Amino acid sequence: MKQIGKVRSEIVRPLAAVSILLIAVSSLGMGQTISASPSVANPWDEIAVSYSGAPGFDSDWMAIYRVDSANEEYGEWYFLNGNKSGTLTFTAPNEVGSYEFRMFENWAGGGGYSDIAKSNVVRVQLEPVNPIAITASPRLVAPGDLIGVTYSGAPGFDSDWIGIYRAGAANDSYGEWYWLNGNMSGSLTFTAPDEAGSYEFRMFRNWAGGGGYNDIARSNMVLVNTSMALGCSWKSFTPDQTAFAGQPGDVFPLRENDFVAGSYLVLVGPAGDDGLDLPPATWIAFGPYDLKGGHKYKASIESPEGKFLRFEEDSADLLSYSSPQAGFARVYARNDCAGDTWYAICLQLIKVAGGGGSVGGYPDPCEEDPASLECILFG
């Protein structure tokens, strides 16, 4: 018999002939029903097929067919083993197209290839049924930092998986990876590689079912940077805010000179119990933030362990401070983390502002270099 799609090779096929001739009465029209779900699927997805009203012979059987194909051209199939109703699980063929499921009566009794029921049509397509999304954050990290990866729209197989890749690497050149264990959405935590460069996260479908190295989604780029902290001007802040009791807002200027208006990353890291461990061994990048000319900003390092930053523009407790000159911004900071650890903060200029303090007038950075810091942060 001619076959299509995936085949259950471990099950003996219906016999081409039987030694005992039996006359079977067809049950066509006696109320058999077949319902297949979902109605749209990707290759290798699972399809649940529920049926009722089967005649009840051990050799009643059901198979998947491409629509309009002959009954002899079946794909994956199962005996119903005497069950008059139940649910079977099929795997969507790896060829796109429209498919249906057909029921047959009593093969061993001579039922032959005369179907007694057909299901609704299921469309197999390459495009995602549900939009697949992967987001990695933060976009700028140091080696060894943690990267949070959230995903949604995964196919839902136990062996769906996500791995980290250097930008441009082949799909079989993966780094750290995790099974999704049947979850269609969720979060994973990766560790930034030791080697600097641009990285991304890729999702793959159903490895155990033959999905192979064909990615179905990719994340935004993440830049692992080893030198940015070294070239940054750090300033440490004590956790004892009484040190700034005489300062309005318990803040202190981040530096004596103002910052030119533009877009900045704010780097925060522990500086030891005396504030002298500079640059920090580890740090977290926040932002980017747009600093507008003539404005004042307050950066509050918050618990736990400096993993949060509150960045405010022209907050009320800064009113008593003078405003910077046009084209420049002034930044004040404080350490609100509990404990004895000092935290250091540094602003890293990414892009100088255009006229009036707004970012503009620049060419698309992703056209010039998709792996550049500007493309990763602004593209």
Q: Give CA–CA dist 25/34, Å, rounded.
A: 20
Structural domains in the chain plus CATH codes: 33-124 (2.60.40.2840), 133-224 (2.60.40.2840), 235-378 (no CATH)
Q: Which residues of 118-147 are buried (b: 16+ CB within 10 A; e: fewer)?
A: bbeebebeeeeeeebebebebbbbbeebeb
Higher pLDDT among residues 174 and 352, named by residue: 174
Q: What is the pLDDT of residue 75?
A: 96
What pLDDT shows up at residue 237? 87
Q: What is the pLDDT of residues 203-215, one digit of tens each?
A: 998 888 788 898 9
* Measured distance CA(135)–CA(343) in Å, rounded: 28
The predicted-structure confidence for 111-145, as pLDDT tens digits, reads as follows 999 999 999 999 998 765 578 999 998 887 878 88
Q: Distance between CA 289 and CA 276 in Å, rounded? A: 26
**33-42, 76-85, 338-347: range with highest mean pLDDT:** 76-85
The confidence band for 21, taking pLDDT boundaries of 50, 70 and 90, is very low
Does 190 score more than 90 pLDDT?
yes
Confidence at 321, pLDDT banded by 50, 70, 90: confident
Instruction: Give which of 335, 348, 294, 290 is closest to 318, Cα–Cα.
Output: 294
Radius of gyration of the chain measured on its C-alpha atoms: 31
Largest interatomic CA distance in the chain: 104
**Alpha-carbon gap, residue 376 to 356, rounded angstroms:** 25
In which band, very low, low, confident or very high, does the pLDDT at 337 lie, cut at 50, 70 and 90? confident
pLDDT of residue 377: 54
Angle of CA points 47, 50, 51, to nearest 5°: 140
pLDDT: which is higher, 171 or 43: 171
With a cut of 90, say whether residue 85 has pLDDT above it.
yes
CA pair distance 374, 379, nearest whole angstrom: 7
Q: What percent of the chain has pLDDT over 70?
A: 80
Residue 145: per-residue pLDDT: 82
CA distance 219 to 199: 9
Parallel/antiparallel/unpaired status of strands 140-141 and 222-224: parallel
* pLDDT at site 8: 40
- pLDDT, averaged across the chain: 82
**351, 360, 226, 193: which is closest to 287 by C-alpha?**
351
- What is the predicted pLDDT for the residue at 49? 95
* Residue 304 clears pLDDT 90, i.e. is over it: no
* Alpha carbon distance 162, 22 (integer Å): 54
* pLDDT classification of 306: cutoffs 50, 70, 90: confident
Q: How far apart are CA 8 and CA 10, in angstroms?
A: 6
| pLDDT at 107 > cutoff 60 | yes
pLDDT computed for residue 81 by the predictor: 96
Separation of first and last alpha carbons in the chain: 55
The contacts of residue 34 (CB under 8 Å, 6+ apart) are: 49, 50, 51, 62, 101, 102, 103, 117, 118, 119, 120
* pLDDT at res. 26: 35
What's the confidence (pLDDT) of residue 282?
81
97: left (phi over 0), alpha (psi -120 to 50) or beta: left
Question: Which pLDDT does position 30 carry in this prediction?
Answer: 57
Residues 90, 8, 123: CA angle, nearest 5 degrees: 35
305-326: average pLDDT? 86
**Is 363 a residue whose pLDDT tops 70?**
no
pLDDT higher than 60, residue 12: no
State the pTM of this model: 0.48
- Which amino acid is it at 325? Q
Inform me whether the pLDDT recorded for 354 exceeds 80: no
**For the chain, percent of residues with pLDDT exceeding 90:** 39
